[in-house]
Amino acid sequence: MTEKYIIAHDLGTSGCKAAITNLKGVVLATAEKRYPVQYHPDGGAEQDPEDWWNAIVETTHEMMAKVNVTPDQVAGMGMSAQMVGTLAVDAQGHALRPAMIWLDARAQEEAAYLVKKTKLDFIDGKAPSAKVRWIMKHEPEIYARTHKMLDCKDYIQCRMTGVFATDYTLASGTTYFNPWALQWWPEVLNAMELPMDKLPTAMASTDKVGELTEQAARELGLRPGIPVICGGGDIPCAVIGSGAISVGRTHLYLGTSAWIFAITNEFKLDAEGISPGVGCDRTTYALGGEMDNAGGCMKWFLENLITQADHEAAAAKGMSIYQYMDDLAAGVPPGSEGLLFLPWIWGERAPVNDENVRGGFINLGSNHTRAHMMRALLEGIGHHLRWVFSKIEAAGVPQTEVHVIGGGATSEFWLQMLADITNKKMLQVEGPLDACARGAAMTAAVGLGFYKDFAEVEKVICLTGKEFSPDPEKRVLYDHGYAAFRYSYEPLSKIGNQKVPLVDDSKKFSLKGAVEGFILKQFVKAQQKKRKI
């Protein structure tokens, strides 16, 4: 019998990856293509959907050229994608404007309006419900031509099949989809004034959207008629690809952003600072949070503090620039000699939803060098992840070991540091960069009938890597660092949100008045104490 394979695409924020796997989730070949994000001063963050499609086409051709697999051997296609995007399309599926991606936070007024109307306080300026209202208000001519409001993956799969569809994992992130009933939420749609017919069909991640059209097959270099399985958002697919699939297991993703999600058997909406999610496996849910900037902070450091001489030195040592940055940080003792980094360079989302807070280096002294800054940056991301872990545990979901995926998982130095800071055992997943695509492929494998359910998938996926256990000797040091990190949030938030009271320098300080005031306060306290006695 001819061996069968599955093609999966992972449509991320910074680029697209195509992967081809066998039926056990082993990745045989991959190809990647990057594309930009357009940032706007008002908090907007957009991407051109044509960039996505071009990346899908290019990576598919490049990947297929690397393997001895014919299009006839492709049993099906799956997909993982960034979540919480909003894209208006016409009746032919053509984009009417750039996509408002998950980082787009300009719909603050619309979010406040919807919270007031629906009493759902989890709607914020990044929620698709608010973004749709923003388009209705600010671009009425676009809205008038809109046939459907889609997420990123929905647009690509529409180009593949001609079908307007989404999956439950993406739909649950819109805030206008009822995650308990698994259907569009009439009460929220009424508040939005959005007709339900402007939404795609919602289906399970394992359902078939349609089949590859003649046009799409021609562009992709594949055969028409290949089944396209719906798949899911990047986080739900990462759950599957990390191997931490069953209830009680946890995974951490380290990429441009970072997230931690634990698997539960209930949709917990009352957990503080974190959010629930619908999984590709309809029998389970995820509970956790995403920090907006992890690898994004490293990218900032790379672009602003790493020189051409550093690149040349890394090349001379046979290192990637990120390995070189690890070496730079490794020369500094744990705790960075008191230097702290706050990673909120583009706002934050969990465990605090604060679009305006900004990060920085705190407690910078003349003894600190660029190497200290590099280590402090890695530690600061770790402190923030510990904060997210604490909220998951407070919700009644303990974690002792964590499957780690994403680009950051390739750094053994950072994984040990994260284990020390969070006091969790970190398990380095084999092939950490392919987790989302692998999860999409195995979700497709269930949808195509190769596996009965995801319990079977968990038994089949073999993910072995190194383990990193916490060093108890660093516990006290990092506990103090974490306390300082948490203490620093409130004042920086006040600055970012313009809530710092003005100072009147015209008022002269009087030592005599200060002393007299102190004595008076002590006298009043003493008198009050006497009265109580």
pLDDT in tens, 112-167: 999 999 999 999 999 999 999 999 999 999 999 999 999 999 999 999 999 999 99
Three-state DSSP state, 130: helix
Q: Is 493 helix (H, G, I), strand (E, B) or coil?
A: helix
347 SS3 class:
strand
Gap between the Cα atoms of 273 and 271, Å rounded: 7
Closest Cα partner for 253 from 268, 272, 234? 234
Neighbours of 524 (CB within 10 A): 10
Instruction: Tell me the CB-side half-sphere exposure of residue 462, using CA atoms within 13 A.
Output: 5
- Our measurement of the distance from residue 66's CA atom to the centroid of its chain's CA atoms, rounded to an integer in Å, reads 30
Contact 205, 439 (CB under 8 A): no
Residue type, 37: V
User: Which residues are CB-contacts of 1 (< 8 A; sequence separation ≥ 6)?
Assistant: none
CB 23 within 8 A of CB 450: yes
Both tokens of 122, joined, read 């989890």
For the chain, list residues with pLDDT below 70: 1, 508-533
Dist. CA 447–CA 240, nearest whole Å: 14
Residue owning tokens 């406040």:
112
Are 192 and 114 spatial neighbours (Cβ–Cβ below 8 Å)? yes
* pLDDT score at 288: 97
pLDDT of residue 507: 72
How far the first Cα of the chain sits from its last, in Å, is 93
Conformational region of residue 508, where left means phi above 0, alpha means psi within -120 to 50, and beta covers everything else: beta
Q: pLDDT digits over 107-123, tens only?
A: 999 999 999 999 999 99
CB 96 within 8 A of CB 142: yes
Per the structure block, which two tokens stand in for 110?
Answer: 């619309």
- 184: left (phi > 0), else alpha (psi -120 to 50), else beta? beta
Q: CA 186 → CA 89, 183, 199, distances in Å?
A: 22, 9, 12
CA 48 to CA 52: how far, in whole Å? 7
Strand partners, 462: none
| CB atoms near residue 22 (< 10 Å) | 15
Q: Judge contact between 251 and 232, C-beta under 8 A.
A: no
* pLDDT value, residue 508: 65
Q: Which domains, from first to last, does the chain contain?
A: 5-233 (3.30.420.40), 244-428+471-493 (3.30.420.40)
∠ CA(101), CA(279), CA(186), 5° rounding?
A: 70
Query: How many Å apart are CA 32 and CA 18, to the nearest integer?
Result: 6
Output b/e per residue, 400-430; b: 16+ Cβ within 10 A: ebbbbbbbbbbbebbbbbbbbbbbbebbbbb
Residue 40's SS3 state is coil
CA distance 86 to 185: 17
Pairwise CA distance, residues 421 & 484, whole Å: 13
The total number of residues written for the chain in this structure: 533
pLDDT at 465: 82
Residue 142 half-sphere exposure toward CB, CA atoms < 13 A: 20
How many Å apart are CA 19 and CA 7, to the nearest integer?
A: 6
Residue 302 CB burial class (10 angstroms; 0-12, 13-18, ≥19): middle
Which residue type is seen at 395? Answer: A
Which ranges in 195-294 belong to alpha helices (H)? Answer: 214-220, 234-242
The pLDDT of residue 296 is 92
Q: Which two tokens stand for residue 406?
A: 């994403």
